[in-house]
Amino acid sequence: MDGGADAQVNPAGGVGAVGVRIHHTRRLPDFLQSVNLKYVKLGYHYLISHLLTLCLVPLMIVILIEVSQMNPDDIRQLWLHLQYNLLSVIICSAVLAFGSTVYIMTRPRPIYLVDYACYRAPDNLKAPFHRFMEHSRLTGDFDDSSLQFQRKILERSGLGEETYVPEAMHYIPPRPSMAAAREEAEQIMFGALDNLFANTSVKPKNIGILVVNCSLFNPTPSLSAMIVNKYKLRGNIRSFNLGGMGCSAGVIAVDLAKDLLQVHRNTYAVVVSTENITQNWYFGNKKSMLIPNCLFRVGGSAVLLSNKSADRRRAKYRLVHIVRTHRGADNKAFRCVYQEQDDAGKTGVSLSKDLMAIAGGALKTNITTLGPLVLPISEQILFFATLLVKKLLNANVKPYIPDFKLAFDHFCIHAGGRAVIDELEKNLQLLPIHVEASRMTLHRFGNTSSSSIWYELAYTEAKGRMRKGHRVWQIAFGSGFKCNSAVWEALRNVKPSRDGPWEDCIDKYPVKVVT
């Protein structure tokens, strides 16, 4: 719309005051000017992207014209010259062959994503708002102010009525225990893995690398050992269990698996990402520690990676880049997501009011590294030019925000909350369709921690939007504070796998989310 008033919600957790900003009607000359600038920018990107081709074509034409005008004697002299320099040709060919062999033997091996699976809990674990609030009231652990606060968070969080909480939380009073937490972990991990093995026909004995990440639940034996025991994995498997690394640990786990696949040839790696809620529910009244209760929900994923060249034909994606950013050296960033006890001795995870600002700083650092790897040269020139003007001339120039829509076809932004998605949509200048997968994942499944980016990828596939050559940007934030990115390239037109998380409900989406 050209004019009118838009309600704008404070992004700080979605629970702040609602402000109204008036947009004046745009004049026709201004509109025409913006259209002209749009096409000028498109022309600029096309020119820079095809600059080499545009320069080489005239050169090739000139060479062909010169060759066509050569007489037979000139061609004969050229041939004789090449014969006299046969030794040089042989040496150059040998050096080229040797160099090519060394490059092929030492280059990084391509990593393929064969398939992945996301866990979907049974319907009896759904937690609609009225049931959530009724259970919170009946536990007797929360005062009226805390109950009202939780209600506001639920209403403005972007979550829908069909998210899941673990079975222990459905009892009154709740029954958190080590046994219940183990049961939750087993249901999620084994459910995702059963689906993955069924869809790929890969036998568990063929798995050479296993990486499991879960931030808040780290029993002994470990979660990875539970998987080894369940599926009777082989004795020489490289097994790793990552704990305490937050919602971005899924990308870290993939990065670790990628490094291991560079060393161990012709094998498979499985990455399992989950979080455990049963023993980490907060039963106190500190507002900053109540938010995770309202946002975090049951979920998990299992990803099958391969370095076998034969798997390229059936794989869905190829791993292109992983970029990791850690801001833990800064005290504010380190403590912005912090597990601790409140004044009453009750344990929970506290979220700082500076969380969004810290996330923005981590994102800026991350995309500064990622940008040169993925952006077209036209965007890099514009960014570098504005940087030079600002540094050399001390001009008050607004920093140029690269257009990442030119580098990626799909965006999987960690569904940590509505504020996170809103902030990235604004800062990266994305369109609503680019954040649709993130918003709908948050609505349907809630914040499933490190596995949320896989539910989002599954949404894109279920909508039939993934085409061969498309690039996907998975970006996740986590405690520490960390911002991690993974870039994938589709190797074919990707269809959703059997028993996917969206299989029975994709036709209902997208839905309008009340803000």
Q: Is residue 48 part of a domain?
A: no
What burial class does residue 235 get, using C-beta atoms within 10 Å of its C-beta: 0-12 exposed, 13-18 middle, 19+ buried?
Answer: exposed
Q: Among this protein's residues, is 447 annotated catalytic?
A: yes
Q: What is the pLDDT of residue 388?
A: 77
Q: Average pLDDT of the chain?
A: 86
Using pLDDT thresholds of 50, 70 and 90, give the confidence band for residue 13: very low
What secondary structure, in 3-state letters, does 20-37 show? EEEECCCCHHHHHHHHHH
Q: 110-119, 144-153, 362-371, 395-404: which range is least confident on average? A: 395-404
Secondary structure (3-state) at 107 = coil
Q: What is the DSSP string of 416-458?
A: S-HHHHHHHHHHTT--GGGGHHHHHHHHHH-B-GGGHHHHHHH
Long-range contacts of 386-395 (CB under 8 A, 24+ apart): none
Secondary structure (3-state) at 362 = helix
Using a pLDDT cut of 90, give the percent of the chain over it: 70
Residue 274 has phi, psi (to 5 degrees) of -160, 180
**Is the model's pLDDT at 272 over the cut of 60?**
yes
Q: What is the number of domains present in the chain?
A: 1
Q: Among this protein's residues, is 247 annotated catalytic?
A: yes
Task: Determine the Cα–Cα distance for residues 233 and 45; give it in Å rounded to an integer.
Answer: 51
Q: Is residue 136 part of a domain?
A: yes
Residue type, 161: E
Catalytic residue among 276, 294, 326, 470: 326
Residue type, 139: T
Secondary structure (3-state) at 358 = helix
**Is the model's pLDDT at 26 over the cut of 60?**
no
Task: Determine the Cα–Cα distance for residues 237 and 227; give it in Å rounded to an integer.
Answer: 12
Task: Determine the Cα–Cα distance for residues 203 and 218; give it in Å rounded to an integer.
Answer: 27
**Residue 282 CB coordination number (10 Å):** 20
Catalytic residue among 118, 293, 443, 483: 443
**Is the model's pLDDT at 78 over the cut of 50?**
yes
Task: Determine the Cα–Cα distance for residues 116 and 304; give it in Å rounded to an integer.
Answer: 6
**Is the model's pLDDT at 11 over the cut of 50?**
no
What mean pLDDT is predicted for residues 121-139?
95
Give the H or E element holding residue 326.
Answer: strand 317-326
Catalytic residue among 213, 280, 447, 484: 447
**Is the model's pLDDT at 125 over the cut of 60?**
yes
**Is the model's pLDDT at 243 over the cut of 80?**
yes
Using pLDDT thresholds of 50, 70 and 90, give the confidence band for residue 98: confident
Q: What is the pLDDT of residue 202?
A: 96
Catalytic residue among 118, 276, 410, 484: 410
Are the CB atoms for 346 and 282 separated by under 8 Å? yes
Q: Is residue 183 part of a domain?
A: yes
Q: Is residue 383 part of a domain?
A: no
Task: Determine the Cα–Cα distance for residues 271 and 254; give it in Å rounded to an integer.
Answer: 7
160: containing domain: 132-372+404-508
In 3D, which of 119, 247, 273 has the Cα closest to residue 194?
119
In 3D, which of 252, 269, 333, 343 has the Cα closest to residue 306?
269
Q: What is the CATH number of the domain that holds 200?
A: 3.40.47.10
Catalytic residue among 247, 294, 412, 483: 247
Q: What is the pLDDT of residues 339-389, one digit of tens each?
A: 999 999 999 999 999 999 999 999 989 988 898 899 888 888 887 777 777
**Is the model's pLDDT at 82 over the cut of 70?**
no
Q: Is residue 317 part of a domain?
A: yes
Using pLDDT thresholds of 50, 70 and 90, give the confidence band for residue 17: very low
Are the CB atoms for 42 and 379 separated by under 8 Å? no
Q: Is residue 243 part of a domain?
A: yes
Catalytic residue among 285, 307, 414, 434: 414
Long-range contacts of 2-11 (CB under 8 A, 24+ apart): 2/26, 7/515, 9/156, 9/422, 9/515, 11/356, 11/419, 11/422, 11/423
- Distant-in-sequence, close-in-space partners of 473: CB < 8 Å, separation ≥ 6: 374, 404, 407, 408, 410, 411, 412, 485, 486, 487
Q: Is residue 120 part of a domain?
A: no
The strand pair at 18-23 and 4-9 is best described as antiparallel
Q: What is the DSSP string of 472-493?
A: EEEEEEETTTEEEEEEEEESS-
Q: What is the pLDDT of residues 456-508, one digit of tens each?
A: 999 999 999 999 999 999 999 999 999 999 999 999 999 999 999 999 999 99
Task: Give the residues across from 302 on adjacent strands.
Answer: 117, 272
Q: What is the pLDDT of residue 22?
A: 30
Using pLDDT thresholds of 50, 70 and 90, give the confidence band for residue 393: confident
Q: 21-30, 127-136, 364-373, 382-391: which range is least confident on average? A: 21-30
Task: Determine the Cα–Cα distance for residues 365 and 157; give it in Å rounded to an integer.
Answer: 27
Q: Among this protein's residues, is 24 annotated catalytic?
A: no
Q: What is the pLDDT of residues 424-449, one digit of tens each?
A: 999 899 999 999 999 999 999 999 99
Higher pLDDT, 122 or 12: 122
Q: What angle do CA 331, 334, 337 make, to 5 degrees?
A: 135
Block residue for tokens 């704990």: 243
Q: Among this protein's residues, is 326 annotated catalytic?
A: yes
Task: Give the residues across from 18 on adjacent strands.
Answer: 9
Using pLDDT thresholds of 50, 70 and 90, give the confidence band for residue 21: very low
Q: What is the pLDDT of residue 515?
A: 61
- Both structure tokens of 365: 């650092």
Q: Is residue 447 part of a domain?
A: yes
Are the CB atoms for 447 and 248 separated by under 8 Å? no
Which letter does DSSP use for residue 161 in this model?
S
Q: What is the pLDDT of residues 289-311, one digit of tens each?
A: 999 999 999 999 999 999 999 99
Q: What is the pLDDT of residue 48?
A: 55
**Residue 473 CB coordination number (10 Å):** 24
Q: What is the pLDDT of residue 16?
A: 34
Angle, in degrees to the nearest 10, between helices 452-462 and 249-263? 90
Give the H or E element holding residue 241.
Answer: strand 238-242
Task: Determine the Cα–Cα distance for residues 317 and 254; give it in Å rounded to an integer.
Answer: 13
Q: What is the pLDDT of residue 395?
A: 64
**Is the model's pLDDT at 25 over the cut of 60?**
no
Q: What is the pLDDT of residue 70?
A: 66
Q: What is the pLDDT of residue 343?
A: 93
Q: What is the DSSP string of 114-156?
A: EEEEE----GGGB--HHHHHHHHHHHS-S-HHHHHHHHHHHHH
